A = this chain, B = another copy of it.
């Protein structure tokens, strides 16, 4: 491992600086990131940015990757910090962490989970980080099944759905009965919906106690899953 050259180091620093300014612009001005504005903030001319990012989409992709990782870190850390035997506590902790992160970084959340930008297609690097939050939730269920605290739902899934979900179980590597996997996915879907509704301002005008509402709705899904 050779030490990186000076030039490589200042280049890496420059990339970080561009991303930092871009993230700041994202937070203040919203999702329509202007490359020229970022360049202006850095005292550069817009074409200089292209030395570091081949296009605006590549800058966005870098920001998306970092955002996925930040969200994944938050959710995993919250889950890990909870009492590992308290499945319901872990479920709530993970959900709350996701919501807290989203409320603190609304523009980045919108970048991750909002409507896809027309011309933009997320590269494959993003799928693994994107799966960290749902995988964390499914991990709670996995632990529950493994320790006997969580039982599979009474009925199994009907075909052909059972086969699909069984394949999904194989791909994700989280050993779960298909019917339970489906309920876990419903929980993840609910979490996403709750956060999106709150962030995009749909119903919560009339709900002053948003924390309590969120906790209760997440708790409903814990009931559906059967978390003790």
Q: Which of A116, A171, A206: most chain B CB closer than 10 A? A: A116
Chain B residue contacts of A111, Cβ below 8 A: 115
Q: Which of A6-14, A75-83, A215-223 contacts B (4 or more CB under 8 A)?
A: A215-223
Interface flag for A189 (CB, 8 Å): yes
Chain A window 18-43, contacts with chain B (Cβ cutoff 8 Å), 1 for yes, 0 for no: 00000000000111100000000000
CB pair A206–B118 under 8 Å, yes or no, is no
Q: Which of A118, A193, A194, A203: most chain B CB closer than 10 A? A: A193
Q: Closest CB of chain B to A115's CB: distance in Å?
A: 3
CB pair B118–A29 under 8 Å, yes or no, is yes
| Contact size range, A | 35 or more
CB pair B161–A31 under 8 Å, yes or no, is no
Chain B residue contacts of A202, Cβ below 8 A: 130
Interface flag for A101 (CB, 8 Å): no
Interface flag for A145 (CB, 8 Å): no
Q: Which of A168-193 contact B (CB under 8 A)?
A: 168, 171, 182-183, 185-186, 189-190, 192-193
Q: How often does this chain occur in the complex, in copies?
A: 2
CB pair B196–A192 under 8 Å, yes or no, is yes
Alpha-carbon distance between A32 and B31 when the two chains are bound, in angstroms: 13
Interface flag for A54 (CB, 8 Å): no
CB pair B208–A164 under 8 Å, yes or no, is yes
Given A118-B29, A192-B196, A212–B158 Cβ distance below 8 Å? yes
Chain A window 91-131, contacts with chain B (Cβ cutoff 8 Å), 1 for yes, 0 for no: 00000000000000000001101111111000000000010
Chain B residue contacts of A85, Cβ below 8 A: none
Chain B residue contacts of A209, Cβ below 8 A: 160-161, 164
Q: Closest CB of chain B to A204's CB: distance in Å?
A: 10
A-B interface, 4 closest residue pairs, ranked by CB to CB distance from nearest: A114-B115, A30-B118, A193-B193, A110-B115
What are 17 A-B contacts with C-beta separation under 8 Å?
A: A29-B118, A30-B117, A110-B115, A111-B115, A114-B115, A115-B115, A134-B203, A158-B216, A161-B212, A161-B216, A164-B212, A164-B213, A167-B206, A171-B206, A192-B193, A196-B196, A224-B224
